[in-house]
Chain A
Amino acid sequence: MIIGLYVPGESIVHRFSAGPKLIAMFCIGYTMAVVDGPMALATLAMCIAFVFVFIAGLRLQHLWTATRPLVIWIGIIAVAQIGIADAQTAANVILRLLALVWTASIVTYTTRLTDMTAVIARLCEPLRPLGVSPDRVAFLIALTIRLIPAVFDTVRGVREAQRARGLERVYLAGFIPVLTRVLRQSDDLSDALVARGFERWDGS
């Protein structure tokens, strides 16, 4: 699993800072919500795909990577919406979903995590008088994002070890080893942060 989806590049989208990109993302999201009709939504989705590939300079493979997790949901939404309403409603929902995910992907693929967390830190700035350290909040978010795939890797490692020993369907037996490994990794990471002086960092 990839940690930090940032794809290095020199495009104009890459050069924009995180703040304007996030504002643009919300504006596009709002537009997608108010625009109606499959033709208009399809045009907007195509425009976003165009920006994705030709202006942001990302590959079609990245577009597919962003779209792949949606395939099952698109199927479920199509069946459900056609059953409940009609094909046009289904198309509207699916096109909105695709356009929103592609827009969000453009932002995550072209923005470094630190730039993103810097925006979060700025947004948290008003909370400083309440004792909240914006930089610490931003760092915690970055750390959490980094740990999610690490936990997935641990689960996969334990599952592989179980399968190698013929324990194909004993899912519960993996819980304790996963928990033990995750706690050990947390200890190691905590040691590494202390060793790098993070106990001296007051978050400013």
Chain B
Amino acid sequence: MIELDQVSIRLQDRIVLDDISVSISEHRIGVIGDNGSGKSTFARLLNGLIVPDSGFVKVQDLDTRNDGKEIRSRVGFLFQNPDNQIVMPTVAEELELGLKPLKLKVADRARRVEEALERFSLTHLADRSAHLLSGGEKQLVALAGVMVTEPEILVCDEPTTLLDRRNATHVMRLIAELSCQVIVITHHFEHLHDFDRVLVIANGKITNDGPAKLTIRQYMETLT
């Protein structure tokens, strides 16, 4: 359960998010909106990468202002550009890196890496240079790198923006099939039709909130 209560964020003299209050408990939630509407800031609030100027964000009853580290151990975050997320040279090493803070035994670490490679169909790329993969493969590696830590919630900030349609569909299908709670910020709202709930953010406010198909249709009407 994620709860935002009267959350506001200012960037110099610009209001990025304005007095937002919302509770999120559904399994799969989409967040859509125009460029600069505040979607990415909203995403970063959910794992405490940003703390609000006023109001509070609670994740499973933990306050992001005080319990950021604990929250980030429960909330995985997938960034738009996998190049900014991938650190290690090979795919297997990249997946193993995320497990370092968990202080697992070497054998447990290796088992988790192997399982994650298999789960995301990356086994054949385990020893390949992560930085020389295609965009779709890189995003899969980034996703596997987050999921290997077994987070309870996954926040994805425009995970398909840099991908072609085929890879975008593949990555979104994998994300939608995850058993943890998933919050996806995206422009590609065609991938959100099966989601449980969609929020629309405009000018720093939640302007629409409801079932996916209805909310997306109403959002599209505002585009024409």
Contact = CB atoms under 8 A, between A and B. Distances in A.
A3 B89 CA distance: 6
Interface stretch (B53-61, B93-101, B185-193, B214-222): B93-101
A189 B127 contact: no
Interface stretch (B9-17, B78-86, B170-178, B203-211): B78-86
Nearest to A149: B131
Interface residues of A, number: 31
Nearest to A187: B84
A143 B96 contact: no
Interface string A1-31: 0111010100000000000000000000000
Contact of A199 (B69, B100, B129): B69
Interface in B62-118: 69, 72-73, 76-77, 79, 81, 83-85, 87-90, 93, 96-98, 100-103
Contacts of B72: 194-195, 197, 199-200
A195 B77 contact: yes
Nearest to A185: B84
A3 B129 contact: yes
B128 A8 contact: yes
B146 interface: yes
A198 interface: yes
Describe A's contact surface by its main secondary structure: helix
A141 B51 CA distance: 31
Contacts, number: 90
Nearest to A135: B100
B49 A194 contact: yes
B149 A188 contact: no
Contacts of A185: 84
B223 interface: no
A188 B84 contact: yes
Contact of B85 (A8, A112, A192): A192
A127 interface: no
Given A8-B128, A195-B47, A197-B98, A113 B89 contact: yes
A142 B93 CA distance: 11
Contacts of A3: 89, 129, 131
A68 interface: no
B87 A113 contact: no
A146 B132 CA distance: 12
Given A188-B79, A188-B84, A6 B89 contact: yes
B81 A188 contact: yes
A204 interface: yes
B145 interface: yes
B88 A142 contact: yes
B109 to A, nearest CB: 11
A146 B69 contact: no
A88 interface: no
Contact of B93 (A114, A150, A189, A200): A114
Contacts of B128: 8
A196 interface: yes
A171 interface: no
A188 B158 CA distance: 14
Given A4-B88, A188-B84, 18 more contacts: A2-B131, A4-B89, A4-B90, A6-B89, A6-B127, A113-B90, A114-B88, A185-B84, A188-B79, A188-B81, A189-B84, A191-B84, A192-B87, A196-B77, A197-B102, A198-B100, A199-B72, A200-B72
8 contacts: A6-B90, A6-B129, A8-B128, A142-B87, A189-B85, A192-B79, A192-B87, A196-B145
Interface of A: 2-4, 6, 8, 112-114, 135, 139, 142-143, 145-146, 149-150, 185, 188-189, 191-201, 204
